[in-house]
A and B are shown apart, each in its own frame.
Chain A
Amino acid sequence: MKNKHNFIGRNLYDLDDYSADEIIAILEATSVMKEINERDYKKLPTLRGKTVCTLFMENSTRTRMSFELAVNRLSADLVSFQASISALSKGESLQDTICTLNAMGIDLYIIRHRFPGSPQLVHKYSEKPVMNAGDGRHAHPTQALLDIFSIWERLGTLKDLKITIVGDIAHSRVVRSNLIGMKKLGANVTVCGPKTLVPGFLPEIYGCKVEHDLETALKDADVIMGLRMQLERQNEGLLPSLDEYTKQYVLSKRTIQFAKKDALIMHPGPMNRGIEIMPEIADSQQSLVLAQVANGVAVRMALLFLFLGGK
């Protein structure tokens, strides 16, 4: 059967470029890749002869490893560009770097950079498909897709689910991409956190609800997602203290009782145990935290196949 959606030659900057049907097609391809990852022999010949370059200009462990594992499992060649040990540190511009890499025959770029819009820049210089692995506070579409897949796989749909995201909403690119994707699939999303960390304009742009009280936010939730408190933001005066935050917003045995029984617990990681989420919740039966990590590899394999597996 022919795919009615065409992903070949496209870029993944954020989920707003993709329709609900296209997102579902990505989730379905992810299910297939997940089966591959559960085999003893986890390797496919699908992308032999293709070359993928990962450009991580900002620290990352799980996203980079997840992408690189996905590239390897599909048998594409991988070049991993690290900003700190490259010619960039000798003053070479991003444009020259991309042109140099392009001359080596790269077929697809994966970039993480602290500046929003960097993936578009890489595409402009390379004219090759680019996947955004996180650009500043703007977007992190593959994380959103793996989050959405983790829910979809468990509950079969996102339609009419109540999903509550708790934490530092303001600085989170994960939230922005999730708000776009979850909304497209029909979920009702509530974001919750202290006023200093939840921008008031979100409902207008993303059609989500804003709550500052955890109990109200969690009421009847099917899915609860905690976010990492960015400890480095402590000095910006947005929180009286971390203890204060924990007192009001931590996901614990007590607070998750406000949600539906057996509500799914998610966290994109890395977790600050004891600050935004208690260990007993992070490690509970309801927790999808490790499933999210495993699903991340499958989602990225599906995307690489869809973007590169064709003319």
Chain B
Amino acid sequence: MKTKSIIMDETAIERSLKRIAHEIIEQNRGLENLYLVGIRSRGVPMAERIAEHLKSIENIEVPIGILDITLYRDDLSTIAHQPVIKGSKMDFDINKSNVILIDDVLYTGRTVRAAIDAVLDFGRPNKIQLCVLIDRGHRELPIKANYVGKNVPTSTEEIIKVCFEQTDGEESVKIVLRDED
């Protein structure tokens, strides 16, 4: 895959996550009864990073859950390679809570649809919100993020690659071109 351009570096990502943390506090009037739920795989380190910022701003530890949406996908019977399931981890009662779903890229919205269904199987939160680092457009479902790091207009030929230190050994957001084959 060929890199077309680098749209965010380490500093830019850090600033965005910090701003998002402030927005979360502002819009929810604090952090009471709030849980961050990262969607595997890059939503998980992103949730951890936001939690660190929330801690340094408000001095409150927000619990983090992990969501594996594979078993909720709507395209299982059409994809060529079966994904590995790694499981979800929600060590808290989400009934009547305020859940913020966290993912790196918002694209068609299908992952988020699956994630909402997956969350609802754990209980009935009062509210579910969505936080993404990149919104690249091309929605196929009526879904909108509450917190966005950066809006990036893209063509469907392009791929947005988000790298976090924890998962990829570097911090960057790149636009790469799909291999022609």
Interface residues of A (CB under 8 A from B): 1-3, 6-8, 25, 28-29, 31-32, 35-36, 39-41, 43-46, 49, 305-306, 309-311
- Pick the contact of A49 from B77, B84, B85 — CB < 8 Å? B77
**How many whole Å from A106's CB to the nearest CB in chain B?**
16
A to B contact number (C-beta, < 8 Å): 62
Contact (A44, B71) CB under 8 Å given A39-B122, A311-B77 = yes
**How many whole Å from B53's CB to the nearest CB in chain A?**
28
Which chain B residues in 82-141 approach chain A with CB under 8 Å? 82-89, 117, 121-123
- Pick the contact of B82 from A43, A44, A45, A309 — CB < 8 Å? A309
CA gap between A189 and B81 in the complex, in Å? 36
| Chain A residues whose CB sits within 8 angstroms of the CB of B81 once the complex forms | 2-3, 6, 310
CA gap between A309 and B78 in the complex, in Å? 9
CA gap between A306 and B84 in the complex, in Å? 9
Mostly, the B contact residues are: loop
**How many whole Å from B11's CB to the nearest CB in chain A?**
29
Chain B, Cβ-Cβ closest to A4: B84
**How many whole Å from A10's CB to the nearest CB in chain B?**
12
**How many whole Å from B23's CB to the nearest CB in chain A?**
31
CA gap between A46 and B68 in the complex, in Å? 13
**How many whole Å from A108's CB to the nearest CB in chain B?**
13
Cβ contacts A to B, 11 pairs, < 8 Å:
A2-B84, A3-B82, A32-B71, A44-B71, A44-B121, A49-B77, A309-B76, A310-B76, A310-B82, A311-B79, A311-B80
| Chain B residues whose CB sits within 8 angstroms of the CB of A6 once the complex forms | 81-82
| Chain B residues whose CB sits within 8 angstroms of the CB of A25 once the complex forms | 84
The reply to whether A29 and B85 contact each other, CB–CB distance below 8 Å, is yes
| Chain A residues whose CB sits within 8 angstroms of the CB of B76 once the complex forms | 46, 309-310
The reply to whether B84 and A3 contact each other, CB–CB distance below 8 Å, is yes
CA gap between A46 and B57 in the complex, in Å? 40
Contact (A2, B83) CB under 8 Å given A41-B122, A44-B71 = yes
Chain B, Cβ-Cβ closest to A74: B71
**How many whole Å from A22's CB to the nearest CB in chain B?**
12
